[in-house]
Amino acid sequence: MQSVDRAVTVLEILARHGEAGVTEVADELGVHKSTAFRLLGVLENRGLVAQEQERGKYYLGAGVLRLAGAAAVRLDISQEGAPMCRLLADELGETANIAVLDNGAAVNIMQARGPASVTAQNWLGRRTPLHATSSGKALLAFQPGPVQDAALARKLPRLTDRTITSVAELREQLAGVVRNGFAVAIEELELGLHAVAAPVRAHDGQVIGAISVSAPAYRLEAERIPEVAKRTVEAAQELSRRMGYGV
pLDDT tens-place string over residues 17-45: 778 888 989 998 888 888 888 988 888 88
Provide the pLDDT for residue 77.
84
* Whether the Cβ atoms of residue 57 and residue 21 lie closer than 8 Å to each other: yes
Q: How confident is the model at residue 73 (pLDDT cuts 50, 70, 90)?
A: low
The predicted model gives 200-217 an average pLDDT of 93
Q: How confident is the model at residue 3 (pLDDT cuts 50, 70, 90)?
A: confident
The rounded percent of the chain whose pLDDT value lies above 70 is 91
Average pLDDT, the chain: 88
Given a cut of 70, whether residue 121 has pLDDT beyond it is: no
Provide the pLDDT for residue 66.
63
Kindly list the distances between the CA atom of residue 132 and the CA atoms of 6, 150, 209, in Å, as whole numbers in the listed order. Answer: 45, 16, 16
User: What's the pTM?
Assistant: 0.70
Backbone angles phi, psi at 243, to 5 degrees: -85, 0
Lowest mean pLDDT across 75-84, 97-106, 117-126: 117-126
* Whether the Cβ atoms of residue 95 and residue 117 lie closer than 8 Å to each other: yes
Provide the pLDDT for residue 129.
95
Instruction: List the beta strands (DSSP E) in 32-190.
Output: 49-52, 57-60, 95-102, 105-113, 127-129, 183-186
Kindly list the distances between the CA atom of residue 56 and the CA atoms of 7, 19, 40, 42, 53, in Å, as whole numbers in the listed order. Answer: 19, 10, 12, 16, 5
Provide the pLDDT for residue 45.
87
Cα-based angle 166, 96, 225 (whole degrees, multiple of 5) = 60
